[in-house]
Amino acid sequence: MAAAAAGTRVFLEVRRRLQSALLILGEPKEGGVPVDISIAPCSLRVKTPEGCTELRLPAEVSLVPSSCRGLQYVPGDGLHLRLQVRAESDAKLISMFNQSSQAHGCCTFYCQSCGEVVIRDRKLVRVLPLPSENWGALVEEWCCHPDPFANKPLHPQENDCFIGDSFFLVNLRSDLWQPRPESAPVETHCPSSENHFKLKPKANTKVICKRCKVMLGETMSSETTKFYMTEIIIQPSERNFSIIPRSQFVQNVVAQCLVELSAARSTFRFTIQGHDGKAYILLWLLNSDSLVIESLGSSKSITKFPLLEDTLKEDSSSAWNAVKVLYQPCIKNRNEKLSSAWESDISIHSLTLPSATCLELLLILSRNNATLPPSLRSMNSFQKKCADLCTGGFPTNGRENIA
């Protein structure tokens, strides 16, 4: 997928399920510059007086040159055209927790931000998904007698790991690393998939990393601790801790949560809320089958975000799997009416993350959106703010599909 010398910015979005692609050739620096476009099944080349840009496609994607259609010029973007592709449609996400490989050996839980060991050499015998947040109400429809599960919370045992929508529940034994609670009093909020816990508000429920002081989760009972997926990396104990850029990790986790929930529950709208119960982002999942291939040309024209890692390289070419979302921020009293309407809609699912991570995710979405061609950055009144979260093994350079 390497590209040749810098030149015109080339943007290609492949839709695997539709077997189609949108090609955008960036505007030249000077108007009226002749452009020579050559499209082959495995690559495309753009020649201008300034230079030549060649984009090579991944092995699983091939173009159909004779299918080019819909050529048009979009001010601010450049040339748009559509064409058919032949692409493998069986791209799969790697599970957040590989039950088959990790449930049979010892695992170590690490803080994703700094690599501090949280739980060492834990043998997990059972790795089970938690029921949905409405499971208690549905029991009445299943049973003709009093609820047999009433007042029986689902607490994991010593060798269990229960998986919620955006968190893990584990049992902390006395001989393991003990979480350091935050001194400030906080309330315990029941996240999705866990109406099993009926704790009263109390102080010191936050679980804080001893080294970097990042919030990792919350204490749910004297033995049960909830760790957020965005804050913890679980690896086999025999494997060394691998450093993953923070923004890339958050993207991958959130994208996977969205895709898995949409497939399991047929819901496509989500509210991202903090552990404090406040809504931070409204997300609308559009599709999860995009493959984005791009030659960035000169990355100097792309907006920089100092608080995030710079994953873009000058004169580089990249390809990554992505999910596409619309999003609206809810911070500083923005979109209050829309947020209230979504919160009262039972078809909309909430994902709970640490409040700091919600702000990180908003920055990531803004950065990814800023790297898109201008015509793809907004849509109708929802501000089609699409941003891409990487869902596969390709590097994440940000883009309209949330990855």
Give tens-digit pLDDT for 217-228: 999 888 899 999
Q: Supply φ then ψ for residue 193, to 5 degrees.
A: 70, 20
Tell me the residue type at 331.
Answer: I
Identify which has the larger pLDDT, 3 or 279. Answer: 279
Q: Give the model confidence (pLDDT) of 273-301 as tens digits.
A: 999 999 999 999 999 999 999 886 544 44
Task: Report the range of poorest mean pLDDT among 33-47, 122-136, 253-267.
Answer: 122-136
Q: CA distances (Å), 274 to each of 95, 150, 259, 278, 361, in order?
A: 23, 28, 20, 6, 11
pLDDT-based confidence at residue 191 (cuts at 50, 70, 90):
very low
46/39 Cα distance (integer angstroms)? 9
**Mean pLDDT computed over every residue of the chain:** 79
402/365 Cα distance (integer angstroms)? 7
* Cα of 92 vs its chain's centroid, Å: 14
Q: CA distances (Å), 297 to each of 25, 46, 57, 171, 313, in order?
A: 11, 12, 16, 50, 9
Task: Report the range of poorest mean pLDDT among 83-92, 153-162, 306-315.
Answer: 306-315
Q: Supply φ then ψ for residue 353, to 5 degrees.
A: -135, 165
189/198 Cα distance (integer angstroms)? 9
Residue 145: its pLDDT value, please?
A: 76
Q: What is the CATH number of domain 10-87?
A: 2.60.40
Residue 309: its pLDDT value, please?
A: 57
Q: What is the DSSP string of 207-238?
A: EE-TTT--EEEEE-SSSEEEEETTTEEEEETT
363/191 Cα distance (integer angstroms)? 23
Q: Give the model confidence (pLDDT) of 76-92 as tens digits.
A: 888 999 999 999 875 55
Tell me the residue type at 344.
Answer: S
Residue 306: its pLDDT value, please?
A: 57
Cβ–Cβ under 8 Å, residues 127 and 312: no
CA 107-109-113 angle, 5° bins: 145
Cβ–Cβ under 8 Å, residues 360 and 333: no
Per-domain residue ranges of the chain? 10-87, 93-174+204-243, 247-297+307-396
HSE value, Cβ hemisphere, 13 Å, CA-based, for 233: 22
Identify which has the larger pLDDT, 110 or 388. Answer: 110
Q: CA distances (Å), 374 to each of 11, 27, 31, 58, 399, in order?
A: 12, 11, 18, 25, 11
Q: CA distances (Å), 291 to each of 251, 332, 389, in order?
A: 15, 34, 11
**Residue 364, Cβ density class (10 Å: 0-12 exposed, 13-18 middle, ≥19 buried):** buried
